[in-house]
């Protein structure tokens, strides 16, 4: 089950994590975000102990999103050992693209 992250717990849940972390930036009014959500929720089951999935509601964390240069939704940031290693965004983003990048990062 994805963990809800926000400005206050981002360091602990994402930057200090040993596993690869996927951060799903979404919004309740974002159709593509809502369409991808059930698939994103299952990624931890697929990748097991190699991946941690988190979700950040951009509508409640606008300033924090701007500080991370997240300007559109959906956006996915992938962190490894506290560093952003990949970034995917766009309304036409497909689950296959997300999984392809995750496989490259997780190895």
What digits encode the pLDDT tens for the residues 16-41? 999 999 999 999 999 999 999 999 99
Give the tens place of pLDDT for each residue, 39-98.
999 999 999 899 999 999 999 999 999 999 999 999 999 999 999 999 999 999 999 999
Domain coordinates of the chain in residue numbers? 3-106
- Return d(Cα 22, Cα 36) in angstroms, integer: 13
What is the band of 107 on the pLDDT scale with cuts at 50, 70, 90?
A: confident
Task: Give the pLDDT mean for 3-8.
Answer: 97
Alpha-carbon gap, residue 29 to 19, rounded angstroms: 30
Q: How far is CA 47 from the centre of its chain?
A: 14
CATH fold of 3-106 reads Glutaredoxin (3.40.30)
* Predicted structure pTM score: 0.96
Active site residues: 30, 33
């Amino acid at each position: 089950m994805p963990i809800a992250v926000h400005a206050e717990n981002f360091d602990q849940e994402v930057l200090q994590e040993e596993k690869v972390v996927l951060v799903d930036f979404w919004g309740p009014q974002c159709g593509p975000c809502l369409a991808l959500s059930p698939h994103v929720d299952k990624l931890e089951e697929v990748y097991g102990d190699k991946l941690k999935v988190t979700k950040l509601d951009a509508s409640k964390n606008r300033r924090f999103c701007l500080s991370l240069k997240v300007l559109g939704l959906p956006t996915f940031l992938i962190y490894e050992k506290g560093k952003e290693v990949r970034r995917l965004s766009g309304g036409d983003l497909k689950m296959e693209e997300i999984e392809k990048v995750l496989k490259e990062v997780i190895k």
